[in-house]
Amino acid sequence: MSYYVGIDIGSSTTKVAVINDENIMGHKVAPTGVHCEETAQQILDNLLQDLGLQQDDIQGVTSTGYGRRLVKFASSTISEITANVKGATWYGTQAGLTVRTVINIGGQDSKVIGLDDDGVTKNFSMNDKCAAGTGRFLETLCRILEINVTELGETSLQSKVPIRINSTCAVFAESEVISLLARRKTKADIAAGAHYAIAKRIGRMIKRVGVNDTVFFDGGPALNGGLKKALEDELVTDLYVPPSVPQVTTAVGAALIAREEKLYGHTLEAETS
């Protein structure tokens, strides 16, 4: 049996996935830290140990994400958009769905990707200039509200009347949220308002790409049920969140590309690097 590895080095977390010729064998997520190559190697070593595999069992390693070129032990690199699309369409196929739009919200950027009828990227919109409307913004919100990030979605779903948040900038929203708390507004209404503010920002991005079903939602914030609901309300469509850990979609896509490169000498999908 042959095994392949995908490594997605993001600004906040590093994700590693191992697949074989047919299935996803396992994956792990950990904070990226300062030395991302060392982090990636440690995660991979731990994952291989859990799976009872040796380094020699690995036939190919593809890295992606902002730190992809820093992983010297990778046999190839690929852009995160290409890897994200590969993983999203694979998960969609497993669920019997045809993915046509991908929404990915990461630690410090967000992307909306439109796919053609063959599942190939045709256009995309990306916010990578600031942390507005990203996972970093949600972390800031949790710190101010003094709740755990895993509780944020459930808290927002308890809202009666979501409060309008005028900014999704992590800096400006902080003072706005503190002011709302001082005025005795509930944490639930503030959290819901923040989610709808992010949804509106993503809505503006998606207008440049277009909404075509199925809409696939991944990245760490896809675990947030309150944000998912806000996006569905804003876009007036259902979102599909992959099972297990939606953070690893791009790493899985990179592993699939590593497998294609080993079997065919190139990836079957057009690359953008």
Helix (H), strand (E), coil (C) string for the chain: CCEEEEEEECCCEEEEEEECCCCEEEEEEEECCCCHHHHHHHHHHHHHHHHCCCHHHEEEEEEEECCHHHCCCCCEECCHHHHHHHHHHHHHHHCCCCCCEEEEECCCCEEEEEECCCCCEEEEEEECCCCCCCHHHHHHHHHHHCCCHHHHHHHHCCCCCCCCCCCCCCCHHHHHHHHHHHCCCCHHHHHHHHHHHHHHHHHHHHHCCCCCCCEEEECHHHHCHHHHHHHHHHHCCCEECCCCCHHHHHHHHHHHHHHHHHHHCCCCCCCCC
| pLDDT value for 269 | 53
| pLDDT value for 166 | 80
Domains of the chain: 1-95+245-273 (3.30.420.40), 100-241 (3.30.420.40)
Residues of the chain scoring pLDDT < 50: 270-273
What average pLDDT does the structure give for the chain?
A: 91
| pLDDT value for 167 | 72
| pLDDT value for 267 | 64
